[in-house]
Amino acid sequence: MTEKINVGGVEVWALLDMIPPPYTPDDFFPSIPLDWWEPYRKEVFDQDGNLQLYYGCFAIRSQGKLILVDTGMGPGPHPERGNRRGELTDRMREEGLPPEEVDYVVHTHLHGDHVGWNLDTHGKPTFPSARYLAPRADWEYFRQPEIAPTAPFVAESVVPLEPLGVMDLVEGEHSVTDEVATLPTPGHTPGHQTVMIASQGQQGLVTGDLVQSMVQVMRPDWGSRADVDSEQARETRLAMMERIQQENMLVAAGHFPTGAHFGRIVTSEGRRYWQIAKPGG
């Protein structure tokens, strides 16, 4: 099923790489007592009371350029994810977006479920025509001697890009095209960035891991164990939720379920919720 929207003249496709095994809520959000979930369980729990994440990436077509935001978990099989396999490149071909045609890979951050397809099994770039744009602050953070052993995915899927000469480290607001730019949104990781789209008076945002579960639309003050700096992540989420609503942005959230990757954040009866965007625009 094609899941696609337009932001002005920009086309955005959701591309599912993998559905990982579910987490129990207290595992993924260890600081949130179980009974606090009660008002949200219908919207965010699966039938077993667990949190099902999705590993989604996005392709963006803007001004003739094809941009891939994040590269999922990678081909696998992944022993730490129930031996499941990633399918990003299959999904891309099905959508008529062959990996060979990608001009830019933009990494929202350098966690393992966002960099997995960078290289093929021969160590060559999976996206041979692409410049890979990685946030400089993440590159510096994850390569520190005391952090690097906790981030083998950076050693495997990011570090080899440097000698291949295909990576650009970016910081601040970096324009990819006239319509697409990165926006620093630190906290989840030090260099975490979202991707802003502005075209023909419309605004869009690819969240990266600004939010990982739909519960954070309703409770942006809740952080998961995946946030490197939980206080900074919380402040960033709160500020961005305000901005998303004020600017009526169309939002693309990779960890949200298939069929609900695109939405707007609306308030009704004093409560925020995720309103799934209709296909097209």
Residue 113 as a binder of Zn ion (CB under 5 A): the answer is yes
Q: How far is the CB of 144 from Zn ion (least distance, A)?
A: 20
The least CB distance from residue 207 to Zn ion, in Å, is 10
* CA distances, 268 to each of 21, 219, 273 (Å): 32, 14, 8
* Of the candidate residues 17, 87, 179, 209, the single one contacting Zn ion (CB under 5 A): 209
Q: CB-wise, 110 or 250, nearer to Zn ion?
A: 110
Neighbour count for residue 21 (Cβ, 10 Å): 12
Measured between alpha carbons, how far is 173 from 152 in angstroms, rounded to an integer? 28
Q: Using CB under 5 A, which of the segments 112-120, 140-148, 164-172, 185-193 binds Zn ion?
A: 112-120
Of 79-87, 125-133, 136-144, 209-217, the segment contacting Zn ion by CB under 5 A is: 209-217
Q: How many residues bind Zn ion (CB under 5 A)?
A: 2
Helical (H) or strand (E) element with 272:
strand 271-276
Residue closer to Zn ion, measured from CB, 6 or 153: 153
CA pair distance 6, 202, nearest whole angstrom: 9
User: Which CB sits closer to Zn ion, 198 or 240?
Assistant: 240
- Residue 70 engages Zn ion in binding (rule: CB under 5 A): no
φ, ψ of residue 199 to 5 degrees: the values are: -155, 130
Reduced 3-state DSSP string for 176-213: CCCCEEEEECCCCCCCCEEEEEEECCEEEEECHHHCCC
Contacts with Zn ion, residue ranges (CB under 5 A): 113, 209
